[in-house]
């Protein structure tokens, strides 16, 4: 598999850049802050935890809390992983064979296409840049082959923040049902929709061959816990994934499982805080980009805490983002990071993140640099 471009870029800059304006997660918190949400009983469980192995599927109390985030999924229809990436890897390895075909939307989180490409034939269906990054069901239908086994989607999308209409989502589920195709849905930004009416169902709730991926990292802002999961109505699929996990992480971290359980029990105040930060920062971005209409095409995303913005400067987005981080310490992600082997991705965009609470300082430095270099 080719190098993971985003992680290679972050290996160089994520902790070296002073102003991380392209982070993909919501604002995190300290261990003591999270434990402040714990009941006395849960705090005692954490303090007295024996640091042994845990259950491969995940601790029962954690699975019960995760199940509450779904409409139809039970705690018997979940499998935990060490973050979302392991879940993506295992699901693709379990479902796909060399003679299969897979469809993946673009732009995407690179693992969504790179892992299937290492296994079988893969086609890309591009979100429509000129129509608010919408998904064209006719384009999905045209990409189908007799051996299409799986379609992989990600909404709210990384990096565009796009969410399809309810009608489009329903049509996609029905298309998969007609053909018996698995529908893998990366839902890690769910619950940070900027209009709650735009929220679409979780695939595992509504489709018997639907697989929902989620994690504590993004909407909940707790990436350090490394707790993710797959949800599916298909028990045989989850059992096969559990067997594959035996060759990888085997089980999750016991302390992380209890901390994730505590966070999910306090999900409403945590999510409302994170939504509030995102709303505040979207207002800052609206005002910021309104002052630089000659340089940027800004469109607020439908959901998530990332946005994809077109850069109109003559130097090109690669040169622009390189100079910006080197000269000011402000980190953005150029669209080359989202290069796809499945088709062209617009190469004049960059990703900005707005889920963290230090946006004002970073934008002030960004503004100063732009003003000095505007000519």
At 374 the pLDDT is 79
CB atoms near residue 220 (< 10 Å): 26
Q: Is 2 helix (H, G, I), strand (E, B) or coil?
A: coil
**Gap between the Cα atoms of 223 and 168, Å rounded:** 31
Beta bridge partners of 306: 353
Strand ranges inside 224-272, DSSP E: 228-232
The model's pTM: 0.96
Given a contact cutoff of 8 angstroms between Cβ atoms, the answer to whether 184 and 151 are in contact is yes
CATH architecture for the domain at 51-266: 3-Layer(aba) Sandwich (3.40)
pLDDT average per 10 residues of sequence, the chain (375 residues): 89 91 96 98 97 97 98 98 97 98 97 97 97 97 98 98 98 98 98 96 98 98 98 98 98 98 98 97 98 96 97 96 97 94 95 95 97 84
**Gap between the Cα atoms of 315 and 49, Å rounded:** 55
At 24 the pLDDT is 95
Beta bridge partners of 229: 80, 214
Whether 5-30+268-373 and 51-266 share one fold: the answer is no
**Gap between the Cα atoms of 137 and 169, Å rounded:** 9
Q: Which two structure tokens, joined as six digits, stand for 71?
A: 């409409």
Closest by CA to 301, choosing from 154, 137, 132, 135, is: 132
What's the DSSP call for residue 262? Answer: H
At 350 the pLDDT is 97
At 375 the pLDDT is 62
Which CA distances in Å does 141 have to 55, 75, 101? 40, 34, 13
Closest by CA to 306, choosing from 355, 353, 356, 357, is: 353
DSSP one-letter string for 29-63: --HHHHHTTS-HHHHHHHHT---S---TT--HHHH
Residues sharing a CB contact under 8 Å with residue 20, sequence separation 6 or more, in sequence order: 14, 331, 353, 356, 362
Residues sharing a CB contact under 8 Å with residue 212, sequence separation 6 or more, in sequence order: 70, 73, 185, 187, 202, 203, 204, 205, 230, 231, 232
Residues sharing a CB contact under 8 Å with residue 52, sequence separation 6 or more, in sequence order: 254
Closest by CA to 38, choosing from 280, 255, 263, is: 263
At 63 the pLDDT is 98
Domain boundaries, the chain: 5-30+268-373, 51-266
Backbone angles phi, psi at 124, to 5 degrees: -105, 145
Instruction: Give 278's Cβ-side CA count (13 Å radius).
Output: 34
**Gap between the Cα atoms of 252 and 57, Å rounded:** 9
Q: Does domain 5-30+268-373 have CATH number 3.90.1150.10?
A: yes
Residues sharing a CB contact under 8 Å with residue 351, sequence separation 6 or more, in sequence order: 22, 24, 159, 306, 307, 308, 309, 332, 333, 335, 337, 338
């Amino acid at each position: 598999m080719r190098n993971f471009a985003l992680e290679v870029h972050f290996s160089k800059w994520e902790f070296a850049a002073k102003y991380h304006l392209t982070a993909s997660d919501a604002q995190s918190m300290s261990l003591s802050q999270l434990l402040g949400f714990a009941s006395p009983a849960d705090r005692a469980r954490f303090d007295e935890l024996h640091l042994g192995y845990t259950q491969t599927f995940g601790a029962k109390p954690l699975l019960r809390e995760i199940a509450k985030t779904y409409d139809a999924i039970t705690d018997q229809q979940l499998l935990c992983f060490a973050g979302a990436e392991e879940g993506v890897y295992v699901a693709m390895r379990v479902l796909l064979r060399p003679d299969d075909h897979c469809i993946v939307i673009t732009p995407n989180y690179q693992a969504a296409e790179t892992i299937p490409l290492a296994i079988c034939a893969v086609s890309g269906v591009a979100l429509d840049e000129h129509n608010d990054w919408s998904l064209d069901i006719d384009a999905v239908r045209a990409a189908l082959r007799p051996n299409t086994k799986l379609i992989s989607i990600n909404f709210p999308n990384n990096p565009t923040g796009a969410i399809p209409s309810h009608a489009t989502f329903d049509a996609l589920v029905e298309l998969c049902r007609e053909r018996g195709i698995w529908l893998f849905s990366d839902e890690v930004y769910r619950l940070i929709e900027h209009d709650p009416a735009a929220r679409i169902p979780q695939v595992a709730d509504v489709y018997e061959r639907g697989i929902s991926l989620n994690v504590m990292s993004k909407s909940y802002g707790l990436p350090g816990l490394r707790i993710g999961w797959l949800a599916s109505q298909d028990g045989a699929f989850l059992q096969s994934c559990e067997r594959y996990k035996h060759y990888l992480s085997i089980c999750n971290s016991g302390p992380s499982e209890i901390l994730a359980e505590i966070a999910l029990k306090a999900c409403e105040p945590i999510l409302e805080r994170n939504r509030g930060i995102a709303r505040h920062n979207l207002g800052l971005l609206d005002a910021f980009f309104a002052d630089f209409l000659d340089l940027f095409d800004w469109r607020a995303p439908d959901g998530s805490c990332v946005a994809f913005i077109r850069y109109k400067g003559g130097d090109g987005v690669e040169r622009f983002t390189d100079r910006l981080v080197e000269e000011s310490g402000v980190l953005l992600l150029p669209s080359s990071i989202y290069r796809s082997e499945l088709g062209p991705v617009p190469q004049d965009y960059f990703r900005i993140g707005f889920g963290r609470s230090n946006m004002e300082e970073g934008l002030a430095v960004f503004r100063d640099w732009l003003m000095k270099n505007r000519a």
